[in-house]
C-alpha cells in the first residue's frame, strides 16, 4: 500500500512528501480558515529531516500550492495554502483516501484496525521509516 501511495503516477505530479505536507497545511486551514503552519510544526508532525522539509516546501511553493508568509514569530518560516490551488491537492488526497478505504474493505474492519495498529508500532520503533 505504501508503494502505491508513494507512486508519483498515483499522486499525479505530487510526490508523497508533498502530499503529506499539504495534508498538514490543509488540516490547519480547515480548522482556522487560514492554514498558517510553521516549518517547525511540519518537521515535528512529519518527522522528516529539516532539509527534506525545506526542499518539499520549496517544491510546493514553486508549484503554487503553498506560499511563504510572515507569522507571529519572525524567527521561523511559515507557509499557508494558496486557496485557489487546493482543488488539485484535494483530488490527489481523495484518491489516497479511496485507496485506504478499499484496503479496509478488503481486509475487513478488525484486520484493518490491526494493520493500522501494527504499522503504527513499526513506525514508532523505527525512525528510518
Contacts of 83 (CB under 8 A, 6+ apart): 29
Length of the chain: 129
Helical (H) or strand (E) element with 42: helix 39-46
Mean predicted lDDT score pLDDT of the chain: 82
User: What was the pLDDT predicted at 126?
Assistant: 53
What structural domains does the chain harbor?
2-89 (1.10.10.10)
49/126 Cα distance (integer angstroms): 15
Q: pLDDT digits over 44-53, tens only?
A: 999 899 999 9
User: What was the pLDDT predicted at 11?
Assistant: 53
100 vs 31, which has greater pLDDT? Answer: 31
User: What was the pLDDT predicted at 10?
Assistant: 46
Q: pLDDT digits over 31-87, tens only?
A: 998 899 999 999 999 989 999 999 999 999 999 999 998 766 667 789 999 999 888
Amino acid at each position: 500500500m505504501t508503494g502505491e501511495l508513494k507512486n508519483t503516477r498515483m499522486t499525479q505530479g505530487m510526490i508523497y512528501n508533498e502530499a503529506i505536507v499539504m495534508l498538514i497545511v490543509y488540516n490547519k486551514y480547515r480548522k482556522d480558515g487560514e492554514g498558517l503552519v510553521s516549518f517547525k510544526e511540519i518537521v515535528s508532525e512529519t518527522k522528516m529531516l529539516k532539509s527534506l522539509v525545506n526542499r518539499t516546501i520549496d517544491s510546493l511553493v514553486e508549484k503554487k500550492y503553498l506560499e511563504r508568509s510572515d507569522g507571529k514569530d519572525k524567527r521561523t518560516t511559515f507557509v499557508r495554502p494558496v486557496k485557489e490551488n487546493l482543488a488539485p491537492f484535494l483530488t490527489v488526497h481523495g484518491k489516497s483516501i479511496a485507496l485506504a478505504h478499499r484496503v479496509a474493505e478488503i481486509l475487513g474492519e478488525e484486520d484493518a484496525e490491526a494493520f493500522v495498529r501494527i504499522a503504527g508500532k513499526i513506525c514508532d520503533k523505527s525512525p528510518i521509516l
